[in-house]
Amino acid sequence: MSKRVIISGGGTGGHIYPAIAIANALKEIEPGIEILFVGALGKMEMEKVPRAGYNIIGLPIVGIKREISLDNLAFPVKLTRSLWKARSVIKDFKPDVAVGVGGFASGPLLMIASLLGIPTLIQEQNSYAGITNKLLAKRASKICVAYPGMEAFFPKEKIRVFGNPVRSDIVDVTSKRKEALAYFGFQEECKTLFVMGGSLGAKSINESLNAGIGDLVKAGYQVLWQTGKGFISTAQATVSGLKSDAAKAFEFIYEMDLAYAVADVVVSRAGALSVSELCLAVKPTILIPFPFASEDHQTKNAMNLVEQDAAIFIKDSSAAEELIPGAMTLLGDVKRQDELKKNIKKLAKPTAAYDIAAEVLKLIK
């Protein structure tokens, strides 16, 4: 009988893509394994996971809004329905182990799995643990983390420090540079800035770039811009007005290996997945953390690199004044780029997905 694994969580790319990377590694190690994803209805995993070739079932779970909201009145009902649905899914699928990557759906699923005696593994991407994973930690069999010092949140004896699992195609993007230049229609002799704000976009980064992209193009630089859903029409209008092939705007980029390959410098939020990918892609990076992330974990992620001179830090509130001048300075300073590349490369964990997958398989009785 084939081994069976449920992987649960999502909400953002920072949860979804590590989950898919773990699933892909499990398939490579154990080709006959059966994998089922469980996500939250209406969240992006319901589209991204099937695109990656896996089945997913949605729970009606929602988060609690931090501000006073009538939506919070529905939370207990949706939580109860999600717990019953999770129980039904587990009874039907009969997993040998359940994996939680954070996000709304992982709470009910892993809670029920642990109560039914199924081994559970948590994967925490950030340097500051999320509330769902902190609640699940006591009952978890193993906890895989990306950063040292996580015993502040989790039982020390359960922790394994493996780094964050990322897509294997991001390793050695340098060899894809010519392909990437052709794909995006850029020139080899010009330096390229890749600007991204995570899977949902980033207001301060988008607005700052929108105001200064013309200056970058006039200075002879190329710009690849991932905007997220809410800003794409504004960005495309701005880029169209430049009447130049040196700037390209996309709502979302699926070919992230090619985006990293074409980039000489990257501007990014400091979500755990982005940081891990940048370490593997070995890119000189300016990090602008989202200041309202839970427990300000993006700033903590960023400072983990900045303290090792592996990235440049700009506060979100300073992006309008500092993003364009900072990007121009770094694009023009090859020596500084090389220093940042040397230091960020030391932080890469290329085998994380396989290490976590092996830990998952160890839990199967």
Q: Is 308 assigned a ligand-binding role in the annotation?
A: no
- Please classify residue 336 by burial: count the beta carbons closer than 10 Å to its beta carbon, then call 0-12 exposed, 13-18 middle and 19+ buried: middle
Q: Is 222 assigned a ligand-binding role in the annotation?
A: no
- What pLDDT, on the 0 to 100 scale, is given for residue 73? 62
294 vs 234, residue with greater confidence: 234
Q: Is 42 assigned a ligand-binding role in the annotation?
A: no
Q: Is 274 assigned a ligand-binding role in the annotation?
A: yes
Q: What is the pLDDT of residues 273-299, one digit of tens each?
A: 899 999 999 999 999 999 988 778 899
- What pLDDT, on the 0 to 100 scale, is given for residue 71? 63
Domains of the chain (ranges; CATH) run 4-164+350-362 (3.40.50.2000), 169-345 (3.40.50.2000)
Mean pLDDT of the chain: 92
Q: Is 80 assigned a ligand-binding role in the annotation?
A: no
What percent of the chain clears pLDDT 70, i.e. is strictly above it? Answer: 95
The average pLDDT across 26-32 equals 96
- What pLDDT, on the 0 to 100 scale, is given for residue 70? 60
Q: Which residues pair with 40 in a beta bridge?
A: 59
Positive or negative, the Cα torsion across 207, 209, 212, 218?
Answer: negative
Q: Is 199 assigned a ligand-binding role in the annotation?
A: yes
Q: 3-state DSSP call for residue 108?
A: helix
Q: Is 268 assigned a ligand-binding role in the annotation?
A: no
- What pLDDT, on the 0 to 100 scale, is given for residue 299? 94
Q: Which residue has the tokens 């229609």?
A: 185
295 vs 126, residue with greater confidence: 126
pLDDT band at 199 (very low <50, low <70, confident <90, very high): low
- What pLDDT, on the 0 to 100 scale, is given for residue 365? 75
What pTM did the predictor assign? Answer: 0.84
Positive or negative, the Cα torsion across 155, 161, 164, 165?
Answer: negative
What is d(CA 216, CA 332) in angstroms, rounded to the nearest whole number?
11
The average pLDDT across 51-56 equals 95
- What pLDDT, on the 0 to 100 scale, is given for residue 284? 98
pLDDT band at 322 (very low <50, low <70, confident <90, very high): very high
- What pLDDT, on the 0 to 100 scale, is given for residue 69? 59
What is d(CA 336, CA 111) in angstroms, rounded to the nearest whole number?
47
What percent of the chain clears pLDDT 90, i.e. is strictly above it? Answer: 76
Helices (H), the chain: 13-29, 45-51, 75-93, 106-115, 131-136, 177-184, 203-218, 232-242, 256-262, 272-281, 297-306, 319-331, 334-345, 352-362
Q: Is 244 assigned a ligand-binding role in the annotation?
A: no
